[in-house]
Structure 1
């Protein structure tokens, strides 16, 4: 142990006192490792992020009251919406007494005409982009919602005081509820486990690559140590000290980047979701595991690497043609991964923790098999490449001498693409169980309005006129409606609609219609009202009775844009005036067709409607709807994939710069002997393009196999999205190409004569 400590101390002194070159090598290693560490710490903080978001959402959730009004109760109306593609959480509030319950983040409820908003919404309202939102509510901002009442720092949220909710709002007892989180179903658990594994494997690959930075300089140092009398064991311990020091420095850099990211994350919004920096707290046990395992892994990787290097007093045997890489053990890893996945599929259910562990282990081993297979594949292919132009000859010869280094640069991107293809295939295969058809027809109408303020026919026509003059609106079909109940069968309900003939044709097939006509609509399941049949208003008890018009004509129901067919009564305005109940004030609803060329047409419709009826509900029609939990898992994995992609790009740039730095001597010599700068630049591009092409081929093959196996485990039909696969591979190729182009200025600097100097 004393000898080990002495050699590690000597290795650390050699690095710290090795001059600018050693410090640069240490810096590159620390940055590469630190990027991966920061992402690993973020992964360990995922549980606290979810817990914080759930706690804040539960704190502002409402508990409805079935009893009478008290001093603590209040009336509320949900006014959540979307403004220019960004979700807005909103609620209208009206207290019943003097001591109402107050939502978290507020000191008091806003009064009529007052508004309390989130900091992000306050900034929006103060700027030019919030002009339409200001005109929509026309209330005075009297306060700001605190962090305790927000799901994220950049959330748009407001509480609007009102005195018009009597008879329209819902009574609540208090704010704050506790929802027990329901466990994810087996398929979503499978998606989560596979997604986390797929996201973390490329990070570990890049960390392993960063630990090996400066291996050529380390080998030359070993030769010098051997010359002054050190044995092989001692040189390896000294080399381990450099890797250990780089890993420890990477831990520090990663912690600093993580701390800085916590402060900056509050300025980022992803798919309408933002995160408080205080919620990003790594799990202590997992963070300690990263801190301990990383230095140990760095030393182990260094020792394994040195097995292929012979350091003698007179030099290092490294680049000579040696024994070819063996492929059999690399294929064993792939077979072992498939075997673990097969074992996971043998159980009766996929909800057990043991089976999910087998799935995670299988995905991990299979992707690791792809990572270790790439160097062999590069060596196998470049050994058979024929000579071409000068730049290609330089690239091929370099790959033939040291293809492993070039392969390591794209190994991480290969593993990331393979995992992404598998995950995308799994999502596409199981999405049919979570994406449901709504039956709505957005090709006819795009927006639905459901008002609560009763309107006369003239007021309803005025609202329709305002909507027609709204920017982006093409058609408006406004109508009044009320529910009717049969006096003969109290369980039989119809809807009475009052509108012009054009609007009535939305609900029924009318061959002939003029003002004054009345129609009884039949459905496949509910009979049509009969002429002169006695009915009563559904919400007025059994006293208010009336008779339907005797000239009621029976027609067939038509599917409206919401996908519904409704049996009931259709009345033109003249027919409604003959019945005082229908000729007075009725709740108003309508359909609106918007122009897709107008970007914010939906927002304009909402603004016009809210100005007339602040409690109206406006929503867009969609042909499909996505399960909430499936969408949450999908957004979470997409957020993680974005973070991994950013780390991959930064780490890949660091890797390429380190490789160029290690080759600056030969590049400068070639340039000094007359090689064109363009020739050397193209040769470097070839050195990246060949491994990248082979890596993407391997990634597609691995991803397709893994995706098919995962679809089989989830009992879904095997189907591949060719467009998505091409998009993923194209994005990966673009990242590698961009990183290579960004390294060109550094490459040109290394071609200068000063780069031939050595220490």
Structure 2
């Protein structure tokens, strides 16, 4: 028996491989469809290795060292490293300052850096080098006084599109930098919020489901001609079981060929992906390697799906010696089992919701519930198309041609748009969940952008540097006003505590305008002093003495700089500044507290900028530059997104682009396959005088009707799924109209598919299509 089955499967392979132009065209369409799906699946199976490779390279450049008194002693191989990153137009640029304690050639250097940079020398990533060339002076001004002497190798970057640099420096010490003895500290893992886990699970389910649907659809290309050929085999003596095994052999050959095509597409695509950077995500070619067991599952599962789908399709077709029963009246599709899929999916989502008490998420249960609901929505599409087209009557000739074709075989049309339906349904639910979770993950910063839009800060050696520092930013392009403030730390003239430390307090010096931004002040004039008690310390009293030199006195062996709280000092309360911080201690105007000679202070400038000018921030960052570890510009924003959510958002954008391209390709292939099946009918219609415009419009209607029904079904089902998911994470619906842009995208896809199929339609209308064999 096994030998007989193998022989019949081999006969199917011979039909697929040796069926002439028609057979090879059918096999090529199936292999192309399966190949596209397999290539995307292999790409998805490579995601774990891509993440592992990126994380490993990121860990390899992390310093092992400490700052301050606990730092290791300097040695011939130790390196001082300080953070010096910057941002350009929302793009984070990784930056480090490097200073060797000994010989630069022997010092610890980051991976990918061939030669340790001397002071002023810059080693940049290829992406940053390209940014410097394309952005011109607006970015290159930030690196003034530096010279590019090298390029960071791949082993030192998370991806080829990561902008990064290492800058040689001098003047670093353990007070402002890490003394690095080695590199390669593994970063700790931060657990994901349950809402983010649900979002990630739904995202993966929604992105992968259309691929499976597309593969299942592709293996049914050429179904009508195959059934007619099987009817001819019945005429020469083959029984039903034999015809099914022959059909299985035919689709098995096409699916195996599709695996080869998919592997080739994957190999070609992975060579091209290194040059692409989508939403800050970039990948090295060497990282794109499928996880071995996922690759094995894909290789084994695709042929199984192909054979299973083919045999399932043949169960609904009666193939006899005299023809195919499907060409007559077909049995109406049943709806109960389709609704059952939806009901089971809803039940699983309700049952497997996140456990708020334990902060855990059943990823497999939620994924299964989402997939069952999407399967139910997709399964409803053929039933809905069949019920809709049976009621269509009359209309223009192009409409009648389209509806009649749909009435004869609505299943093929429904299969062609099933990928669009499942993708839109999942995208609607995902968009609703995404918008709600974004609201949850948006953190209030406490900034008040109505009072200031940016804050510049710098550590200064003495108070006299405040004026030039503030003036430098006040005259910057796009700055309308700048308020300067000096901050420092003073020791109290009291006994040492139990740990041998002297208690202290902070002091802030600025004019009345800036003091009103930080404390409650009714009346203020130059010479006034205010005292704000800290929550954990009693308020300073008039007569208390402060050493403004603070902790610097002991280390620098400098004389103390005593100042006494005047009797006229008034007690008040602190208020959050524009940058969200609250200060305590002494607040004084410049004439009341002169710090022109006091060392180790911090200068702060609160900046108002021209609204709507995005380049203002870049000019401010250029003033700070990248060579100074102790100066920076912080842009104020009322809210910010958590970094984990931002990463998921970028990954979603990349996945959505890939899936939409695949769906568009699948619709084009499906339409071309339907036109090939109708070659003879089209030639007959042209021979009888039917206009080409009429036939083109019929192709448009033939695509638009099932797509329209599918979009309506997907919008309703996706919205219901979105409401369930939002209830799971305890969020409210923020966008009931999430389906509108996705529906518009689906309608635009109809036009693109129609335009792409017109050249083949014109070719199918030639008179030679009337020839027969």
TM-score after normalising by structure 1: 0.92
**1:474 and 2:501 equivalent?**
no
Q: Taking structure 1 as reference, are residues 743 and 515 closer, same or farther at Cα in structure 2, changes over 3 Å only?
A: farther
Q: Taking structure 1 as reference, are residues 238 and 147 closer, same or farther at Cα in structure 2, changes over 3 Å only?
A: same
Q: Report the counterpart of residue 308 of structure 2 in structure 1.
A: 300
Q: Report the counterpart of residue 557 of structure 2 in structure 1.
A: none
**1:743 and 2:733 equivalent?**
no
Q: Report the counterpart of residue 86 of structure 1 in structure 2.
A: 91
Native 8 Å contact 1:454 1:588 kept in 2? no
Q: Report the counterpart of residue 552 of structure 2 in structure 1.
A: 540
Q: Report the counterpart of residue 379 of structure 1 in structure 2.
A: 386
Native 8 Å contact 2:463 2:596 kept in 1? no
Shift of 1:498: 3.1
Matches within 5 A, 1:280-291: 280-291=288-299
Q: CA RMSD in A?
A: 2.9
**1:677 and 2:692 equivalent?**
yes
Shift of 1:412: 0.9
Q: Taking structure 1 as reference, are residues 524 and 387 closer, same or farther at Cα in structure 2, changes over 3 Å only?
A: farther
Native 8 Å contact 1:526 1:567 kept in 2? no
Shift of 1:509: 4.8
Unaligned runs of 5+ in 1: none
Query: Secondary structure of 2:117's partner?
Result: coil
Native 8 Å contact 1:8 1:238 kept in 2? yes
Question: Which of 643, 659, 662 is matched with 2:677 structurally?
Answer: 662
Deviations 1:306-363 (A, max 9, x none): 222233334333232221111111112212222333442498977778x432222222
Q: Taking structure 1 as reference, are residues 492 and 746 closer, same or farther at Cα in structure 2, changes over 3 Å only?
A: farther
Alpha-carbon distance between aligned partners in 2 of 1:731 and 1:513, rounded to the nearest angstrom: 60
Of the structure 1 ranges 359-368 and 404-413, higher mean CA displacement relative to structure 2 is found in 359-368
Q: Report the counterpart of residue 363 of structure 2 in structure 1.
A: 356
Deviations 1:593-630 (A, max 9, x none): 33343333222110112279454122212222333333
Alpha-carbon distance between aligned partners in 2 of 1:346 and 1:546, rounded to the nearest angstrom: 59
Shift of 1:554: 4.7
Q: Taking structure 1 as reference, are residues 692 and 131 closer, same or farther at Cα in structure 2, changes over 3 Å only?
A: same
Alpha-carbon distance between aligned partners in 1 of 2:10 and 2:629, rounded to the nearest angstrom: 73
Of the structure 1 ranges 647-656 and 46-55, higher mean CA displacement relative to structure 2 is found in 647-656
Q: Report the counterpart of residue 648 of structure 1 in structure 2.
A: 663
Question: Which of 160, 164, 167 is matched with 2:171 structurally?
Answer: 164
**1:569 and 2:573 equivalent?**
no
Matches within 5 A, 1:183-202: 183-202=191-210
Alpha-carbon distance between aligned partners in 2 of 1:341 and 1:627, rounded to the nearest angstrom: 26
Of the structure 1 ranges 369-378 and 607-616, higher mean CA displacement relative to structure 2 is found in 607-616
TM-score after normalising by structure 2: 0.90
Question: Which of 380, 389, 396 is matched with 1:389 structurally?
Answer: 396
Q: Report the counterpart of residue 739 of structure 2 in structure 1.
A: 725
Shift of 1:300: 1.4
Q: Taking structure 1 as reference, are residues 349 and 439 closer, same or farther at Cα in structure 2, changes over 3 Å only?
A: closer
Matches within 5 A, 1:501-516: 501-516=512-527
Q: Taking structure 1 as reference, are residues 351 and 744 closer, same or farther at Cα in structure 2, changes over 3 Å only?
A: farther
Matches within 5 A, 1:433-444: 433-444=440-451
Query: Secondary structure of 1:443's partner?
Result: coil
Matches within 5 A, 1:59-208: 59-65=60-66, 66-71=70-75, 72-98=77-103, 99-127=106-134, 129=136, 132-133=139-140, 135-166=142-173, 167-208=175-216
Of the structure 1 ranges 395-404 and 283-292, higher mean CA displacement relative to structure 2 is found in 395-404
Matches within 5 A, 1:405-554: 405-454=412-461, 456-457=463-464, 459-487=465-493, 494-521=505-532, 529-537=540-548, 538-540=550-552, 544-554=561-571
Deviations 1:702-750 (A, max 9, x none): 2223223333333x14425224332333333333433233323333333
Unaligned runs of 5+ in 2: 555-559
Alpha-carbon distance between aligned partners in 1 of 2:542 and 2:397, rounded to the nearest angstrom: 93
Question: Which of 319, 322, 332 is matched with 1:324 structurally?
Answer: 332
Q: Taking structure 1 as reference, are residues 496 and 736 closer, same or farther at Cα in structure 2, changes over 3 Å only?
A: farther
Q: Report the counterpart of residue 259 of structure 1 in structure 2.
A: 267
Alpha-carbon distance between aligned partners in 2 of 1:58 and 1:109, rounded to the nearest angstrom: 20
Q: Report the counterpart of residue 734 of structure 1 in structure 2.
A: 748
Deviations 1:632-655 (A, max 9, x none): 333333322222222122222222
Q: Taking structure 1 as reference, are residues 351 and 229 closer, same or farther at Cα in structure 2, changes over 3 Å only?
A: farther
Shift of 1:127: 4.8
**1:591 and 2:606 equivalent?**
yes
Shift of 1:52: 1.0
Q: Report the counterpart of residue 615 of structure 2 in structure 1.
A: 600
Alpha-carbon distance between aligned partners in 2 of 1:545 and 1:176, rounded to the nearest angstrom: 46
How many pairs are equivalent?
Answer: 754
Shift of 1:150: 0.6
Shift of 1:157: 0.8
Query: Secondary structure of 2:578's partner?
Result: coil
Alpha-carbon distance between aligned partners in 2 of 1:83 and 1:130, rounded to the nearest angstrom: 12
Q: Report the counterpart of residue 340 of structure 1 in structure 2.
A: 348
Alpha-carbon distance between aligned partners in 1 of 2:705 and 2:478, rounded to the nearest angstrom: 51
